[in-house]
Amino acid sequence: MVQGYVNLNTEKNKQWLQEYVDNWVTFFKKQTDTGKVADYIPKLEEADPDALGITIIGKGGMQIRSGDLNHSFSIQSISKVLSFIVACIDRGITYILQRVDVEPTGEAFNSIMHLQINNPKRPFNPLVNSGAITVSSLLNGNTSDEKLEPLFNLMEKIIGYRPEIDVDVYVSERDTSMRNRAIGYYLLEEGYLESDLGVTLETYFKQCSINITTDDLARIGLVLSNDGIHPDTEEIIIPKNVARIAKSLMLTCGMYDASGKFASYVGIPAKSGVSGGILAVVPPRVRNNDLPFLDGCGIGVFGPALDKQGNSVAGIKLLRHIANSWDMSVF
Ligand code: DON
Q: Probe ligand 1: pick from 109, 206, 256, 312, max atoms within 8 Å of CB?
A: 109
The rounded distance, in Å, linking the Cα atoms of 47 and 25 is 18
98 and 200 housed in the same domain: yes
Is 125 inside any structural domain? yes
What pLDDT digit, counting tens, does each position of 107-139 carry?
Answer: 888 888 888 888 888 999 999 999 999 999 999
**Ranges of the chain whose pLDDT falls below 70:** 1-12, 288-289
* Cβ atoms 305, 37 nearer than 8 A: yes
Contacts of 212 (CB under 8 A, 6+ apart): 72, 73, 74, 75, 78, 159, 163, 277
Q: Parallel, antiparallel, or unpaired for β 36-37 and 270-272?
A: unpaired
Give first-to-last CA distance, the chain, whole Å.
21
Residue type, 230: H
Domain CATH for 139: 3.40.710.10
CA pair distance 277, 221, nearest whole angstrom: 12
Residue 2 lies in a domain: no
Is residue 162 located within the same domain as residue 68? no
In a domain, 330, yes or no: no
Report whether 204 belongs to an annotated binding site: yes
Point out which residues pair with 278 in neighbouring strands: 272, 301
**Burial of 165: CB neighbours in 10 Å, binned 0-12, 13-18, 19+:** buried
User: β-strands 53-58, 297-302: how paired?
Assistant: antiparallel
| Number of neighbouring beta carbons within 10 Å of residue 117 | 8
**pLDDT at 8 (0 to 100):** 58
Q: Which residues have a Cβ under 8 Å from the Cβ of 62 and sit 6 or more positions away?
A: 8, 9, 14, 292, 293, 297
| Cα distances (angstroms) measured from residue 40 to each of 33, 180, 185, 186, 277 | 19, 12, 20, 21, 16
Which ligand 1 atom is at minimum distance from the Cα of 310? Answer: 12
Q: Ligand 1 centre and the CA of 205: distance in Å?
A: 9
Query: 244-280: per-residue pLDDT in tens?
Result: 999 999 999 999 889 999 999 999 999 999 999 999 9
Of 208, 241, 268, which residue constitutes the final position of a domain?
208
6 falls within a domain: no
Whether 195 and 238 map to the same domain: the answer is: no
State how far the Cα of 72 lies from the Cα of 161, in Å rounded to an integer.
Answer: 14
- If you take atom 4 of ligand 1, which residue's CA is the nearest one? 76
* DSSP 8-class letter at 31: G
Select from 66, 70, 69, 68 the least CA-distant residue to 20.
66
Q: Rounded distance, CA 202 to CA 259, Å?
A: 28
Domain count, the chain: 2
Same domain, 204 and 216: no
**Other C-beta atoms lying within 10 Å of the C-beta of residue 19:** 12
Residues 278 and 172 in one domain: no
Give me the residues paired with residue 64 across strands: 56
In the set 80, 147, 206, 247, the catalytic residue is 80
Within-domain flag for 229: yes
Q: Looking at the CA of residue 179, tell me the nearest atom of ligand 1.
A: 3
Domain residue limits at 158:
77-208
Cβ pair 125, 105 in contact under 8 A: yes
C-alpha torsion sign, points 261, 266, 272, 277: negative
Cβ neighbors of 172 (< 8 A, separation 6 or more) are: 41, 42, 43, 44
List the catalytic residue out of 86, 100, 242, 274. 274
Q: Which of 130, 170, 204, 317 is catalytic?
A: 204
Whether residues 101 and 190 fall in one domain = yes
C-alpha distances in Å from residue 123, one per residue of 88, 208, 326: 16, 19, 36
Domain boundary among 208, 232, 261: 208
Q: What distance in Å separates the CA atoms of residue 176 and residue 184, rounded to the nearest whole number?
A: 14
* Residue 131 pLDDT: 97
What number is the ipTM of this complex? 0.96
